[in-house]
Structure 1
Amino acid sequence: MSILVTGATGQLGRRITQELLTKTSDVIAMVRSPEKGADLTELGAEIRVGNFNDRDSLRSAFDGVEVVALVTSKAHVKERILQQENVLDAAQDAGVKRIVFASFATCQPDSLFHMAPFYLYAESRLRLSGLEWTILRNGMYLDPVADWIPDLIKMGRLPYPVDSGRIAYVCRDDLARSFAAASLDDSHAGEIYSLTGPESLSMNDLAAAISQATGKAIPFETVSENEFVEICRMGNEPEVMIGILLSMYRAVDQGEFAETTRDMEKLTGRHPMTALEYLQQRCGTGK
C-alpha cells in the first residue's frame, strides 16, 4: 500500500512520515522544497514535489498513491478551502483510494474558533467526495506549551486569557502514531476519531505539571485578552495568528477542548502520554 503524506516537512507531517517509515517502506513525502526533505530521503521516503495551490502538481504527486494522509497548510479559511478543492479533485483524477484527514476538535457549527468553518467545510466535502475517508479530529497540541517553557520560567507565570476552561492536551508524537495506524489499515475507512490526551486539565493543572517538570514555581495567571496580545507581540507572533489564538482560548472557555476519548488507544493500542509525562520528557526530568 503506497501512502503519501502532505506537509511532510511540517511539525506533524514529518512525524507522521517518520512513524510510517517504521512500519512500511512504501511512503511518499510530499514537499514544496525537496531540500527540506533530505532527512526523510535518508530514512527511506520517496520525495515528491506538490503545492496545494497547484492542482497539476498535486495530480503528479498523487500518481499511483492509494492513501493520502492529508495535513493541510496554515493558510486562512478561504485559501485553505480552495486548497482542499484542489486536493480532492487531484486525488480523484489520480485514482487515490482513501484520504486520512487531519481535522480539529472544534469541528462544530457553534465553535468560537476562527478556523472551525474550514474544518466543517472540509469534513463535509470529503465525506461527499466519493473517495473513501477517515477523519481524525486532533485535540490541542501540548508541544507549543513545552516550546514556551524558557519564556515561562523568565516570566515566572503561565499567562492565558482563560477562566475555567479545560483542555485535553495531546502531543504530536502520539498523533503521528494514530495517523500511521489509521493510514495503514483500511478498516478505518468511514470512521471519525477524536484524538485527545488522557486527562482534561485546568490551567492550574497545567501550571502544576509545568512546575513539576521544570522544578520551577510557575503558577497560572488569568490575563486579559489585551495583555495576552502584548505577550504574543513580544514573542513576535504574527497578528493573524494572535487573532486565531484569542478565538481558540475563547473556545477553551466554552468547553470545546475539554472532552477526553480513548480513540487514540483504540488506534494504536497504547496510552497517550499525560501532560506531565510529555513535559518531563521535553525537560529531561522524567524517569
Structure 2
Amino acid sequence: MTILVVGATGTLGRQIARRALDEGYRVRCLVRSSRKAAFLKEWGAELVLGDLCEPDTLPPALKGVTAVIDAATTRPTDSLSIKQVDWEGKVSLIQAAKAAGVDRYIFISILDAEQYPKVPLMEIKRCTELFLMESGLNYTILRPCGFMQGLIGQYAIPILEKQAVWVMGESSPIAYMDTQDIAKFAIQALKVPETVNRSFPVVGSRAWSAQEIIRLCQRLSGQDAKMTRMPTGLLRSVEKIARFFQWGWNLADRLAFSEVVASGRPLTASMDETYAVFGLDPNDTTTLEEYLQEYFGRIMKKLKELEYEREKAKKKAKKRSLFK
C-alpha cells in the first residue's frame, strides 16, 4: 500500500509519516520544498513536489496512491490565507483523490468545529468534513483538539527561561494528545474496516486548563512561573484592526481562534468508542504528566551536565592560573 501524506513537514504530519514507515508502508510526501523536507527522504519517504493551491501538481502526486492522510493546515507565518489552503486547497485535493481512484482518505479535522461557526478555521474544517463526506471517497475523520508538542513553547520554555507565560482570562480546558499517539490512530484507521465513513474524537485522557499546566510545569522544573494575563477584549480589538488590511487577514483569522480557547468551554470528548473501534489500548496513550515529565527530565539532566562542565572548566582555569 502506498500512502500519500499531506502536511508531512508539520508537527503531526511528520509523526504520521514516521509511523507509516515504521509499519512498513510505502510513504510518499507532498512537499513544497525538498530542502525543508530532506529529513523525510532520509527516513525513507518519497518526496513529490506539489502545492495544494496549485491543483495541476496534485494528480502526479496521487498516481498509484492507495490512501491519503491529510494533516495539512495553514501556519500563522504563511502568506496564504486559511481559506486558500484549508478550503480551496483541500477541495482540490479531495477532487483529485476521487479522480485518481484513491481507496481511503484520512482527514485530520478539529474537535467541536460545528460549535464555532464564526471562527474561520473551525467553520472551514466543518465545511471540509461535509465536502469529504459527499465526495464518494471512503473517508475517516479524526478530530483532535490540541497537541502536547505545542505546550513546550507555550509554557515549558518560558518557565525555564524565567520569561512571562501568557494566559487568557477564561482559559478553556483542553484534552491535549501527543502527536505520536494521533499518528497511531491515523495509521490504524487504514487497517480497521469499521472506521470507514465515520468520524472520531482523538483526544487525551483529560482536559487541562492553562493554570493546571503551569502548576505542573512549575512542579517538574522546580521554578516559579511569571504569568501575564492577556485580556480577551484586547485580542478582539487587534483582530478587528487586522481585518482592515489584506496583509492582516490571516492574522485576524488566527486571532479569531482565541474565542475557542477563551470560551471557558472544555475541549474534550469520550474516547471509549474510539478505542473500542480502533482496537487500541488507552493505557498505551501518553498522558500529559508523562509527556512533560519526560521533557523536563531530559532538560534538567542536560542543564546539570552543562553546569558540571562549567564548574569543571572554572576549576581547571583556576589551577592553571596558580602555576603561572
TM-score by length of structure 2 reads 0.76
> What is aligned with 1:19?
19
> What is aligned with 2:221?
214
Q: CA deviation at 1:115?
A: 0.9
> 1 CA distance for matches of 2:160 and 2:248?
24
Per-residue Cα deviation, 1:153-182 (whole angstroms, up to 9, x for no partner): 445653211325311112222212221222
Q: CA deviation at 1:185?
A: 3.6
- State percent identity of aligned pairs: 24
> What is aligned with 2:240?
none
> What is aligned with 2:306?
none
In the TM superposition, 1:271-286 aligns within 5 A as 271=283, 272-284=285-297
> What is aligned with 1:178?
185
Task: Report which structure shows greater RCO (CA 8 Å, sep ≥6).
Answer: 1
The change in CA–CA distance for 1:242 and 1:159 in structure 2 (over 3 A counts) is farther
The change in CA–CA distance for 1:87 and 1:120 in structure 2 (over 3 A counts) is same
For residue 69 of structure 2, give the secondary structure of its aligned residue in structure 1: strand
> 1 CA distance for matches of 2:269 and 2:169?
17
Are residue 94 (structure 1) and residue 91 (structure 2) matched? no
> 2 CA distance for matches of 1:91 and 1:114?
25
Are residue 255 (structure 1) and residue 265 (structure 2) matched? yes
Q: Tell me, which stretches of 5 or more residues in structure 1 are unaligned?
A: 230-237
Q: Tell me, which stretches of 5 or more residues in structure 2 are unaligned?
A: 75-79, 237-246, 302-324
The change in CA–CA distance for 1:162 and 1:280 in structure 2 (over 3 A counts) is same
> What is aligned with 1:116?
122
Per-residue Cα deviation, 1:48-73 (whole angstroms, up to 9, x for no partner): 22210122211110011111001123
> What is aligned with 2:63?
63
Moved more, 263-272 or 108-117: 263-272
The structure whose Rg is larger is: 2
The change in CA–CA distance for 1:187 and 1:259 in structure 2 (over 3 A counts) is closer
Q: CA deviation at 1:193?
A: 1.0
Q: CA deviation at 1:261?
A: 2.7
Mapped contact 2:8–2:72 kept (Cα < 8 A): no
Per-residue Cα deviation, 1:189-242 (whole angstroms, up to 9, x for no partner): 11211111111112221111111222212275543136779xxxxxxxx96666
> 1 CA distance for matches of 2:295 and 2:248?
28
The change in CA–CA distance for 1:77 and 1:244 in structure 2 (over 3 A counts) is closer
For residue 58 of structure 1, give the secondary structure of its aligned residue in structure 2: helix
> 1 CA distance for matches of 2:250 and 2:286?
27
Mapped contact 2:165–2:228 kept (Cα < 8 A): yes
Q: CA deviation at 1:109?
A: 4.2
How many residue pairs are counted as aligned between the two chains? Answer: 280
The change in CA–CA distance for 1:57 and 1:209 in structure 2 (over 3 A counts) is same
In the TM superposition, 1:1-287 aligns within 5 A as 1-74=1-74, 75-79=80-84, 80-111=86-117, 113-148=119-154, 149-155=156-162, 158-163=165-170, 165-218=172-225, 222-225=229-232, 243-244=252-253, 246-252=255-261, 253-255=263-265, 257-262=267-272, 265-266=275-276, 267=278, 268-271=280-283, 272-284=285-297
Moved more, 87-96 or 154-163: 154-163
Mapped contact 1:106–1:256 kept (Cα < 8 A): no
Matched to 1:120, the amino acid is R
Moved more, 219-228 or 46-55: 219-228
Matched to 1:95, the amino acid is G
> 2 CA distance for matches of 1:255 and 1:88?
32
> 1 CA distance for matches of 2:207 and 2:287?
10
> 1 CA distance for matches of 2:196 and 2:15?
22
Moved more, 264-273 or 274-283: 264-273
> 2 CA distance for matches of 1:173 and 1:11?
10
Q: CA deviation at 1:257?
A: 1.3
The change in CA–CA distance for 1:261 and 1:21 in structure 2 (over 3 A counts) is same
For residue 189 of structure 2, give the secondary structure of its aligned residue in structure 1: helix
The change in CA–CA distance for 1:57 and 1:184 in structure 2 (over 3 A counts) is farther
